[in-house]
DNA sequence: TATTAGCACTCTCATGAGGAGAGTGCTAAT
DNA sequence: ATTAGCACTCTCCTCATGAGAGTGCTAATA
């Protein structure tokens, strides 16, 4: 589609624009990237690239800036030859420091992922987002019911990953502590070690198979357990709006409002990133590749961390479409790996 | 200090400026507030008020704007005759709706206070902050220890307010489940119904009185309990930065960065508001009355909610010094009462 | 003596002209 | 096919101008 020379020029222009958000002129490109053909030739190439939709001209006598399609081309060619990653010493240092920090707080999942979102944003200067492991993807270690008041019971659920979830349930006040103990014994023997989402499925199946004669206590146990594992949507951490304010991309107030609006609604981000959770690997969404209107001028670089082969959760950064993609991708990728490693060491 | 007429003019100017952030001229004040003396007289008064430090002139031929001292005078005279509150029907409606909402989620403290911060910000268009009950101010209902792995135990602490706190502890792996049960029995019999901060004090006392011969198990219990109730600093909810962006006060980017910087650091806000927690009642901090540099151009309206006579936590709004103080004070006051009521109904 | 009308003065803000600077597209030469 | 040359276009900065708003001061008034 693009011959090699056009490709080189396109990548050069995008590289330049990523480093300095100013329309890139033909003369500048020729000198800065030492092309051995003249600015006039580059102008011709630029005109072609504009016709193809890779570049844009803010006004008739300005240089060119990349379009979303241009960025997409750039990112794809980055991902093709990923040899270029990890040469940034400063970045490596910061990721190493992060790794040490993670080790020291690995017994507190919330603290860990707060730190992740923090690190993502401070290293990148964009917005950092970190989803703790989705509870459906974790395995049940133990469930416990603690009577609180006559008709209220605290359901405590501990996963093998060491995450504690709790919830207050309203129950039949006639249930004795003894009953509660029998219920938890049953649930633990039945479901310990199972994935939460599998438990959910199993419970639904059991409840729908009405033919089976129920031990009344077991039915109660199942209904309680169903309540107990129905937590609110996973919460997640997001940080760095303040730092992002200092980017030249958001120096004008309407752009700033755009990004603030985009991250204001946690549901929106949740839906956007939740879908990525099962896919795994680095994923880049550029500008209007995002479904949500609010993200039309923003890019997302996301990855999943895993336990073994199972994707557990998502981390991401959100920034302007004029993002330093090589750095962002390298960073998100490495931090995701780092989380996977920490989780692995936590398990045994 | 100020004669009645000067006072009227000052209040009028501030009232006008709060409604529209434009320097207030003498002619405008005279017409708008129907004073029966001429603009020229008002100009003289204004000059006096400026000499006294209540007003400021952005430039030689502009109207006047209030100084922090001016706002302080305004707020003090508001608080003196609080008869003027609660006439805003729209505000009443919104607070009533809030009250109903609170009722429906009163069994989940976190959800409640997220809603509080949300409501504070949407009603006021400023930044809303809500501290859930400080855990030291709550009373222990029950403590429970659940073995997780050989050397790890989940400590579950339930307060009489229905708040569940949890924490993962590292313990001597030789402790059996039976030992754990004995420990919790001891702790519950000893401390059930006590305030968390009292428990803390008592534990420290017991540990320092080394003369007493300890039952080894009790010592272990005490040490574990000490760990279990040492939670991280209370977290709190903050919302509304996006909405605040639409205020004319933050239409220029540097002002916007100021407020973003102020609320970026949770520790800073925590320290600022934590001190207010024990005082109770409406508290207003205007501009440079705030100790923290970051808040020099912002105002805080805060209040505490209580259970009985005991202050439990703080709610607040943060906005520009040009704040609609009557509305803000009325709102914060009523919402704090509303929370107190909801908590009271939750208890039995 | 306190208040007010009148007026010159000051400052901001919006508008438009003019010129420098950057970069283009086109044409003709290589 | 590439390039040098050049006219052209567009932005941005600066400066001058004038309208508008509001003041402070002075002299007249009740």
**DSSP state letters, A149-189:** ETTEEEEEEEETTS-EEEEEEE--TT--HHHHHHHHHHHHH
Distance from CA of B28 to the nearest CA of A (A): 31
Among residues A161, A155, A64, the alpha carbon closest in space to that of A108 is found at: A161
Which single residue is written with the structure tokens 């059991």?
A206
Q: Which residues contact B87 (CB under 8 A, 6 or more apart)?
A: none
Q: Kindly determine whether residue B154 and residue A164, on different chains, have CB atoms separated by under 8 Å.
A: yes
State the pLDDT confidence band at A210, using cuts at 50, 70 and 90.
low
Nucleotides of C under 7 A from a protein CB: 3-6, 9-12, 21-27
Among residues A329, A338, A336, A284, the alpha carbon closest in space to that of A124 is found at: A329
Q: Which residues contact B165 (CB under 8 A, 6 or more apart)?
A: B135, B156, B157, B158, B159, B231
* Cβ-Cβ contacts under 8 Å, B164 against chain A: 154, 156, 166, 168
Chain centroid to Cα B239, Å, comes to 12
Among residues A61, A60, A80, A62, the alpha carbon closest in space to that of A13 is found at: A62
Q: Helices (H), strands (E): how many in chain B? A: 13, 10
Calpha distance A32→B165 (Å, rounded): 59
Q: Which residues contact A228 (CB under 8 A, 6 or more apart)?
A: A143, A145, A155, A157, A167, A169
Calpha distance B190→B199 (Å, rounded): 9
Calpha distance B92→B112 (Å, rounded): 19
Task: Give the DSSP letter of residue A221.
Answer: H
Element (H, E) at B129: strand B127-130
Element (H, E) at A146: strand A140-149
Distance B38 CA to D29 C1' (A): 14
Distance A62 CA to D14 C1' (A): 22
Q: Do residues A156 and A298 touch, judged by C-beta distance below 8 A?
A: no
Nucleotides of D under 7 A from a protein CB: 2-5, 8-11, 20-26
Q: Is A191 helix (H, G, I), strand (E, B) or coil?
A: helix
* Least-confidence region, from A82-86, A92-96, B325-329: A82-86
Which ranges of B176-215 does DSSP label H, i.e. alpha helix?
Answer: 177-191, 196-208
Instruction: State yes or no: pLDDT of A180 exceeds 50.
Output: yes
Task: Give the torsion through C-alpha atoms of A300, A305, A306, A307, to 10 deg.
Answer: -160
State the pLDDT confidence band at A84, using cuts at 50, 70 and 90.
low
Contacts of the segment B276-279: beta carbons below 8 A, 24+ positions apart: B276/B302, B276/B304, B276/B314, B276/B316, B277/B131, B277/B134, B277/B304, B277/B311, B277/B313, B277/B314, B278/B311, B279/B304, B279/B311
Burial of residue A166, with CB atoms counted within 10 A of its CB: 0-12 exposed, 13-18 middle, 19 or more buried: buried
- Closest residue on chain B to A348 (Cα): B149
* Cβ-Cβ contacts under 8 Å, B257 against chain A: 242, 245-246
Q: Kindly determine whether residue A168 and residue B260, on different chains, have CB atoms separated by under 8 Å.
A: no
State the pLDDT confidence band at A348, using cuts at 50, 70 and 90.
very low
Instruction: State yes or no: pLDDT of A27 exceeds 90.
Output: yes
Give A158's strand partners.
Answer: A142, A164
* Residue among B142, B242, B261 whose CB faces A261 most closely: B242
* Residue among A152, A156, A245 whose CB faces B156 most closely: A156
Stretches where chain B sits below pLDDT 50 are 213, 347-348
Distance A262 CA to C6 C1' (A): 57
Instruction: State yes or no: pLDDT of A288 exceeds 60.
Output: yes
To the nearest 10 degrees (0 to 180), the angle between helices B196-208 and B216-228 is 140
Distance from CA of B253 to the nearest CA of A (A): 6
Q: Do residues A65 and A28 touch, judged by C-beta distance below 8 A?
A: no
pTM: 0.91
Distance from CA of A233 to the nearest CA of B (A): 12
* Cβ-Cβ contacts under 8 Å, A141 against chain B: 148
Q: Is A247 helix (H, G, I), strand (E, B) or coil?
A: coil
In the 17-56 segment of chain B, residues within 7 Å (Cβ) of strand D are: 23-28, 39-40, 43, 46-47, 50
Calpha distance A326→A314 (Å, rounded): 19
Calpha distance B82→B330 (Å, rounded): 9
Q: Quick count: other Cβ atoms within 10 Å of Cβ B271?
A: 13
Nearest-5° angle of CA A204, CA A208, CA A213? 115
Q: Do residues B150 and B104 touch, judged by C-beta distance below 8 A?
A: no
Give me chain A's average pLDDT, please. Answer: 89
Burial of residue A298, with CB atoms counted within 10 A of its CB: 0-12 exposed, 13-18 middle, 19 or more buried: buried
Q: What is the β-pairing status of strands A140-149 and B65-66?
A: unpaired
| pLDDT score at B348 | 46
Calpha distance B12→A1 (Å, rounded): 70
| pLDDT score at B286 | 98
Distance B22 CA to D20 C1' (A): 15
| pLDDT score at A183 | 85
Calpha distance B198→B191 (Å, rounded): 9
| pLDDT score at B122 | 96
Among residues B149, B163, B231, B142, the alpha carbon closest in space to that of A110 is found at: B231
Distance B41 CA to C6 C1' (A): 14
Instruction: State yes or no: pLDDT of A137 exceeds 70.
Output: yes
Rg (CA), chain B: 26
Residue-wise pLDDT tens digits, A98-117? 999 999 988 788 899 999 99
Q: Do residues B299 and B323 touch, judged by C-beta distance below 8 A?
A: yes
Which single residue is written with the structure tokens 């019911």?
A145
State the pLDDT confidence band at A212, using cuts at 50, 70 and 90.
low
More reliable by pLDDT, A157 or B216: A157
**DSSP state letters, B214-239:** PPHHHHHHHHHHHHHT-PPSPP-EEE
- Closest residue on chain A to B156 (Cα): A156
- Please tell me whether any atom of strand D lies within 7 Å of the Cβ of B313: no
| pLDDT score at A307 | 85
| pLDDT score at A197 | 87
Element (H, E) at B144: strand B140-149
* Residue among A162, A170, A264 whose CB faces B242 most closely: A264
Q: Which tokens in the block code for residue B243? A: 């909405």
Calpha distance A122→A8 (Å, rounded): 32
| pLDDT score at B280 | 78
Instruction: State yes or no: pLDDT of A181 exceeds 60.
Output: yes
């Amino acid at each position: 589609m693009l011959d090699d020379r056009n490709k080189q020029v396109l990548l050069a222009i995008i590289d330049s624009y990523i480093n300095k958000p100013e329309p890139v002129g033909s003369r500048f490109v020729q000198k800065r990237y030492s092309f051995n053909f003249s600015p006039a030739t580059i102008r011709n190439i630029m005109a072609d690239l504009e016709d193809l939709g890779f570049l844009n001209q803010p006004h008739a006598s300005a240089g060119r800036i990349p379009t979303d399609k241009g960025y997409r081309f750039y990112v794809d060619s980055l991902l093709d030859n990923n040899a270029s990653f990890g040469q940034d010493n400063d970045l490596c240092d910061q990721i190493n420091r992060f790794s040490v920090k993670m080790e020291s707080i690995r017994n507190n999942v919330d603290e860990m992922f707060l730190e992740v979102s923090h690190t993502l944003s401070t290293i990148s200067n964009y917005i950092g987002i970190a989803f703790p492991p989705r509870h459906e993807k974790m395995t049940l270690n133990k469930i416990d019911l603690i009577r609180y008041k006559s008709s209220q019971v605290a359901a405590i659920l501990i996963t093998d990953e060491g995450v504690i979830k709790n919830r207050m349930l309203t129950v039949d006040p006639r249930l004795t502590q003894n009953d509660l103990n029998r219920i938890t014994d049953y649930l633990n023997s039945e479901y310990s070690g199972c994935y939460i989402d599998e438990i959910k499925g199993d419970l639904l199946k059991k409840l729908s198979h009405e033919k089976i004669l129920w031990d009344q206590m077991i039915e109660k146990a199942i209904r309680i357990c169903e309540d107990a594992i129905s937590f609110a949507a996973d919460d997640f951490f997001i940080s760095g709006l303040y730092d992002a304010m200092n980017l030249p991309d958001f120096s004008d107030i309407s752009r700033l409002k755009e990004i603030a609006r985009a991250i204001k609604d946690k549901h929106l981000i949740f839906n956007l990133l939740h879908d990525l959770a099962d896919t795994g690997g680095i994923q880049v969404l550029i500008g209007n590749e995002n479904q949500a209107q609010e993200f039309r001028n923003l890019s997302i670089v996301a990855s999943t961390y895993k336990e073994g082969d199972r994707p557990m959760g998502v981390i991401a950064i959100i920034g302007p479409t004029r993002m330093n993609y090589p750095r962002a991708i390298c960073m998100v990728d490495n931090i995701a790996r780092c989380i996977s490693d920490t989780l692995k060491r936590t398990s045994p």
